[in-house]
Structures are given as structure tokens and as C-alpha cells.
Amino acid sequence: MEFTGCGAATGCGAVAWLLFGVSVVVELDAGADLDDVLWNGTRINAGTRNAFIYRTRRHVGAQVLPVADKDGRYRLGDGATTDWHKFRRVLENEHPSDGGSEIDRLSDALDLVRDRPFRGISGAEYAWADYDIQRMTGAIAEAAAILARFQRDSGSEREALDTALHGMQVAPYSESLQGMALEAALATGGPEEAVRLRARFSALLGDLDPELAG
């Protein structure tokens, strides 16, 4: 996870952690509450939680972390956003105001993807994260596969290969992305490059299940 705009002040890590928790609970619509996310399900004193939130709001401002709504729920303010929120917003914008093409739209969304969702969060320790990881991974893989297909159809085989491999950083076992990458590799580098890539994918599957290798 990466946070920007937090500054170098003492306690920035705690501030970022709280904002992450709020973004998970609200922005991702996770099936977890704030205690699940921030304290791994440990129930803490309400005064401790409220003091933590109050100190964070003083640090970042109410435009980033507003007070709770009438139901006691927190949300990120207009002064904060997440890459996942921006990713979804780009994909939902079917008719970009700048007149961009479908390829541009999907490329803009995938430019926001730098690594696997929730990397560094152990699924064993944070069971609430598993569903969101799968949901986000699936959406990213689908966007990458669609973009790679558009790029292949337009004759941009090298770009299609790069897109498929980029998507596989998030979903390494995606059959659709592997197939797209192999087709693009064959078109750009011939049989030898496709064979090398297939061997790489086979080794990857072997790490998952030795019976799948080969």
C-alpha cells in the first residue's frame, strides 16, 4: 500500500493506517468494520478509537476525514481519494468528455494499477480482505484482457503483450491474460518468444500445483 500527501510529520504512519481503514470500510464497501481493519478484529475501548480518529482529523483536516454521519459511519472527504475509486470512475465513464477512445479509457484505468491489491496484507490475518482482493483482481484482469484484445485488433501487438503482462502482475494465473500474451508474443517475436513465454507460464503454474506444469 502506498499513501501520498501525508507529509513527514510524526505519526504519519498511524494517520495513513486510519485513512486506509476508512477507505476499506466505506470506499471499498467491505464487509468489515473499522475495528476489523485497524485492529484485526480486536475490540478496543471506544474512547481510544475516538481519540485516534480525532488526532487524525486534526492532522489531515475535516476535508479529508469528516466527522461521522448520523449513523456513526466515517467516510473519506473530498480532499482524499483512492486509486481503486479512480479506477472504477474511469471505467464507468463510457463517454469521456475529452473524446478519448475505448483504448485510452482502459489504458488510463490500468495506469493506476501498480501492484496486486492489498499486497502486504495477509489473508490469514485479515480474513475480511479476501473477498475484496478477489473482486478487485477480477476487475483489473478483465480490463487488461479487454484492452489487450482491442490493441491486438488494432494491430498494436507489442502494446497488447505489455498490457497482458501488466495485468498478470495482479492476476498471474489468469488464463485469458496468458492466452492473450502468448498470441501477442507469437505475433511480435515469433514461435521462439511464444515458447519462452509458455515455459515461464508453465513454471508459474507449477509453483501453484506441480501437476499443472508442463
DSSP-assigned states of every residue in 96-128: -TT---HHHHHHHHHTT--S-TTTT--TTT-TT
Would you kindly state where each structural domain of the chain is located, as residue ranges? 6-81, 83-212
Residue 52 contacts residue 14 (beta carbons within 8 Å):
yes
Dist CA 3 CA 100 (whole Å): 29
Dist CA 202 CA 190 (whole Å): 19
Higher per-residue confidence, 130 vs 5: 130
pLDDT tens digits, 167-197: 999 999 999 999 999 999 999 999 999 999 9
Q: What is the pTM of this model?
A: 0.77
pLDDT tens digits, 39-69: 776 777 888 888 888 888 888 888 888 888 8
- Which CATH code is given to the segment(s) 83-212? 1.25.40
pLDDT of residue 58: 83
